[in-house]
Amino acid sequence: MSEQIRIEQDGRVLRVTFNRPEDNGVSDSMAAALSAALATAHETSDVVVVSSVGPDFCTGRIRDAGGPPAAEAYARRPEYDAIFNSYKSVRSAQVPVVGILRGRVMGYGTALAALCDVSFAADTATFNIPEITHNVMPTMVMSALYDRVNRNAILWMAYSAEFIDAKQAKDWGIVSQVVAQDKLDATAAGFLDVLLSRPRPAILGLKEYLRVAPRMDEQAAIDYARALHSMVNTSAAMKKAH
């Protein structure tokens, strides 16, 4: 597993790198390793960076070596938990997750790109949801996109399975920024420098609010903003920043 996914501490940055350049797929065990890393990332880091080795960020989910999927639906359902749990882990991570995307971003890759809190895509990157071409319902990916991307865009991508370019992905809310390919890593590094210059309570508080508030009614979201605003802005770290 350590060969397929690299998890490395780099100062206050936790770097998670998919390392299957032979096929650029992400296996269920790799997704589980990502979940485990994100669950404890806040203990050592202020940000997690997810990237990949090879020409493509991710060409989709692949099964670990083993037998065929279970024939019965009830028995098969847990076989997908590693993927669903990895989606939840990005949403639940206490620190922001930053994606660096290049090449093809397909299926699981598109889901992960949309879930990242901030993502940078090379201007040559392309995105799609190919599951239906394999007679597979793409609801796994859709469960990651439903509150990130507008309904019409999701359905067009799911039905057509066609690739969109990075600019379209940005317009639809899948990525944050589109950058010339030769400047992708430098641009992401510059953003990380800016992010790490912010006080830690603000780094954590921004993600916490957007993780919780969208599920609240209007008044609850306002009240939560007031409470979090007071709590973060009175922290010692914020006072040092001034």
What is d(CA 40, CA 152) in angstroms, rounded to the nearest whole number?
A: 36
> Could you report the per-residue pLDDT of 16-51, keeping only the tens digit for each?
999 999 999 999 999 999 999 999 999 999 999 999
Q: Which of 97, 106, 117, 102 is nearest to 16 (CA)?
A: 97
What is d(CA 146, CA 144) in angstroms, rounded to the nearest whole number?
A: 6
- Is 108:114 a contact under the CB 8 Å cutoff? no
> Could you report the per-residue pLDDT of 73-127, keeping only the tens digit for each?
788 788 889 999 999 999 999 999 999 999 999 999 999 999 999 999 999 999 9
Give the global pTM.
Answer: 0.94
Local confidence band at 241 (pLDDT 50, 70, 90 cut-offs) = low
What is d(CA 168, CA 116) in angstroms, rounded to the nearest whole number?
A: 17
For tokens 């797929």, what's the residue? 25
Span 156-167, average pLDDT: 98
